[in-house]
């Protein structure tokens, strides 16, 4: 029982939704807490997502991550033009009393940074897969993307991670 | 030689280092370095820092949080630390306890802010059992509804730090350097600093607090005392801390840019 009191969330369930620009996922609330996992994205075990479109990959943190972190009040982002390595930290979010590193699942050149997050860090909580994106990268090694988890695999990963704590 | 990660009865190993009067900037640099470059678990206890210093969290804005004119006049150092959270004024009456751990060190503990905070509350529950109605309230350690311990954390991919500044004693006049923060816990109810905080010395002798804290840590971990010189001999991995003091120029610029510091902007131009 003592271990359960350390868990940050009550019973969690996951729902896979189809990403679309106009209706990313239904905005309704159930008695259980749902973390959304979007179809069409790739996922890292450190809870970042990647959307690969053409030559650019967009990166953010997942709904599961933002839910566990709490209200985001500050976001630290890199400058565009720099490079990142797979697994390396590119920034941080502040929530509750903590700064938490955000790690890049892929290597590449940072081509754009979401400057809206400076004034509106809460976008990471309210729209983690849309307006809450963090950086855009030109990947230097596409095999890193292929090795990432798909939605079903990530959903199972999160369920197992939550169950083991 | 590799240091074993488990000691008595399979409890994870925790290296304990004690300081007295270590400057807070040195403490924070050390903590950041251990978080980022060590793979061992550490507990740092600093019994008082050497001089009054203001320490802001990573996103702290001086104009919003400080009475900058007074801070500059009295030459109080201001530091921005690497962890989140609010602003504290620390001095020789502050006792610091910091935990730096690998994410798998505490069985069943998820490396997120709220679980770590809850775990720390349970540890200190042992220290303050039966004393002063101790509680972890929102993210503060309180006796009743008065705060005596402030917490902050930083979480990386594989490790985390949870550090606390305990108000064993404080000087009333130094609280005047801090403004009422815009972001405050609900239980504060807009109280001034002096109505919101309390002194641990009214509840427990200083040495008793440190002894009981070590005893409580010893129930979770296998404690191994290390000398402060041991840390100096750790592998010297290239590392630049992000914790830094704010310059006089930065503070003056913050004051000039702030509408509420208008009086200062007039006096500074004389």
Contact B113 A69 (CB under 8 A): yes
Contact B84 A68 (CB under 8 A): no
Domains in chain B and their CATH numbers?
A: 13-256 (3.30.930.10)
State residue A16's pLDDT score.
76
**Average pLDDT score over residue span B29-57:** 96
Contact B114 A96 (CB under 8 A): yes
State residue A21's pLDDT score.
41
pTM value is 0.89
The CA distance from A50 to A98, in Å, is 24
**Three-state DSSP state, B23:** coil
Comparison of pLDDT for A11 and A57, the residue scoring more: A57
Chain B hits for A3, Cβ within 8 Å: 107-108
Identify whether the C-beta of residue B83 lies closer than 8 Å to the C-beta of residue B174. Answer: no
State residue A22's pLDDT score.
40
Cβ partners under 8 Å of residue B51, min gap 6: B23, B77, B91, B92
Which band of pLDDT confidence, cut at 50, 70 and 90, is reported for residue B233?
Answer: low
Q: Please, is A56 exposed, middle or buried when counting C-beta atoms within 10 Å of its C-beta (0-12, 13-18, 19+)?
A: middle
State residue A30's pLDDT score.
32
Identify whether the C-beta of residue B84 lies closer than 8 Å to the C-beta of residue A93. Answer: no
Average pLDDT along chain B: 90
Comparison of pLDDT for B121 and B175, the residue scoring more: B121
State residue B260's pLDDT score.
62
What is the count of residue pairs from A and B with beta carbons less than 8 Å apart? 91
Which band of pLDDT confidence, cut at 50, 70 and 90, is reported for residue B7?
Answer: low
Of B110, B113, B118, the CB nearest to A97: B113
Contact B84 A87 (CB under 8 A): no
Of A76, A97, A103, the CB nearest to B139: A97
Rg of chain B taking only CA atoms, in angstroms: 19
Mutation target for B interface from A35, A89, A96: give the one with most B CBs within 10 A. Answer: A96
State residue B163's pLDDT score.
98
pLDDT, tens digit, 9 for 90 and up, residues B153-211: 999 999 999 999 999 999 888 888 999 888 889 899 888 888 999 999 999 999 999 99
State residue B236's pLDDT score.
63
Helix, strand, coil abundance in chain B, percent, nearest 5: 35, 25, 35
**Average pLDDT score over residue span B239-259:** 93
Chain B hits for A161, Cβ within 8 Å: 110
Nearest-CA distance A68 → chain B (Å): 6
In this predicted structure, the answer to whether residue B217 has a pLDDT above a threshold of 90 is yes
Contact B110 A68 (CB under 8 A): yes
Cα A91–A97–A99 angle (5° rounding)?
15
In this predicted structure, the answer to whether residue B261 has a pLDDT above a threshold of 90 is no
Average pLDDT along chain A: 86
In this predicted structure, the answer to whether residue A11 has a pLDDT above a threshold of 70 is no
Nearest-CA distance A115 → chain B (Å): 16
Question: Which residues of B169-219 form beta strands (DSSP E)?
Answer: none
Nearest-CA distance A78 → chain B (Å): 14
Closest A-chain CA to B57 = A97
Cβ partners under 8 Å of residue B173, min gap 6: none
Mutation target for A interface from B28, B58, B84: give the one with most A CBs within 10 A. Answer: B84
Comparison of pLDDT for A52 and A6, the residue scoring more: A52
Question: Which residues of A31-160 form beta strands (DSSP E)?
Answer: 33-39, 42-43, 48-53, 56-61, 72-76, 83-84, 89-95, 98-103, 108-113, 135-139
Contact A97 B155 (CB under 8 A): no
Comparison of pLDDT for B172 and B97, the residue scoring more: B97
Helix, strand, coil abundance in chain A, percent, nearest 5: 25, 35, 40
Chain A hits for B119, Cβ within 8 Å: 6
State residue B264's pLDDT score.
47
pLDDT, tens digit, 9 for 90 and up, residues A71-101: 999 999 999 999 999 999 999 999 989 999 9
Comparison of pLDDT for B14 and A6, the residue scoring more: B14
Comparison of pLDDT for B269 and A40, the residue scoring more: A40
Contact B153 A97 (CB under 8 A): yes
Edge to edge, what strands does the sheet with B88-90 contain?
B88-90, B53-56, B78-80, B244-245
pLDDT, tens digit, 9 for 90 and up, residues A117-165: 999 999 999 999 999 999 999 999 999 999 999 999 999 999 999 888 7
State residue A5's pLDDT score.
37
State residue A3's pLDDT score.
37
Contact A96 B84 (CB under 8 A): yes
The CA distance from A102 to B10, in Å, is 32
Tokens of B115: 């679980």
**Average pLDDT score over residue span B15-28:** 97
Cα-Cα-Cα-Cα dihedral sign, residues B253, B258, B261, B266: positive
**Average pLDDT score over residue span B88-117:** 96
State residue B112's pLDDT score.
96
Residue percentage of chain B with pLDDT more than 90: 78
In this predicted structure, the answer to whether residue A32 has a pLDDT above a threshold of 90 is no
The CA distance from A51 to A57, in Å, is 5
Which band of pLDDT confidence, cut at 50, 70 and 90, is reported for residue B45?
Answer: very high
Complex ipTM: 0.89
Nearest-CA distance B93 → chain A (Å): 23
């Amino acid at each position: 029982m003592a271990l359960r009191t350390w868990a940050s969330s009550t019973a969690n369930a996951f729902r896979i939704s189809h990403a679309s620009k106009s209706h990313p996922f239904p905005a309704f609330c159930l008695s259980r807490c749902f973390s959304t996992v979007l179809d069409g994205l790739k996922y890292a075990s450190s809870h970042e997502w990647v959307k690969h479109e053409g030559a650019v990959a967009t990166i953010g943190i997942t709904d599961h991550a933002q839910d566990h972190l709490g209200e985001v009040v500050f976001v630290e982002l890199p400058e565009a033009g720099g490079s990142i390595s797979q697994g390396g930290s590119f920034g941080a979010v502040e929530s509750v009393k903590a700064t938490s590193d955000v790690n890049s699942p892929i290597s590449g050149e940072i081509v754009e940074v979401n400057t809206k997050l400076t004034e509106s860090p809460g976008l990471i909580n309210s729209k983690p897969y849309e307006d809450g994106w963090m950086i855009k990268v030109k990947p230097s090694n596409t095999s890193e993307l292929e090795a990432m988890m798909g939605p079903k695999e990530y959903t199972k990963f999160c369920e197992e991670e939550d169950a083991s704590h | 030689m590799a240091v074993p990660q488990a000691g008595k009865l399979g409890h994870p190993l925790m290296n304990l280092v004690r300081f007295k009067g270590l400057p807070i900037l040195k403490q924070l640099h050390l903590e950041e370095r251990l978080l980022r470059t060590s793979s061992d678990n550490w507990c740092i206890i600093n019994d008082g820092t050497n001089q009054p210093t203001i320490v802001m969290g990573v996103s702290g804005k001086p104009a919003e949080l400080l009475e900058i004119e007074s801070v500059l006049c009295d030459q109080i150092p201001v530091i921005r630390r690497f962890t989140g959270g609010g602003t504290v004024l620390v001095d020789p009456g502050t006792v610091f306890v910091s935990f730096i751990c690998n994410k798998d060190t505490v069985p069943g503990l998820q490396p997120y802010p709220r679980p770590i905070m809850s775990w720390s509350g349970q540890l200190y529950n042992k220290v303050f059992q039966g004393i002063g109605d101790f509680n972890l309230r929102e993210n503060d350690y309180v006796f009743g509804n008065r705060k005596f311990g402030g917490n902050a954390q930083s979480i990386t991919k594989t490790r985390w730090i949870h550090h606390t500044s305990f108000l064993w004693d404080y000087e009333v006049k130094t609280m005047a350097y801090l403004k009422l923060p815009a972001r405050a816990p609900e239980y504060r109810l807009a109280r001034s600093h002096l109505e919101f905080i309390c002194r641990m010395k009214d509840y427990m002798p200083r040495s008793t607090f440190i002894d009981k804290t070590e005893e409580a840590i010893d129930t979770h971990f296998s404690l191994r005392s290390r000398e402060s010189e041991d840390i100096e001999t750790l592998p010297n991995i290239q590392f630049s801390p992000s914790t830094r003091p704010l310059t006089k120029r930065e503070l003056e610029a913050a004051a000039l840019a702030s509408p509420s510091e208008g009086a200062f902007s007039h006096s500074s131009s004389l």
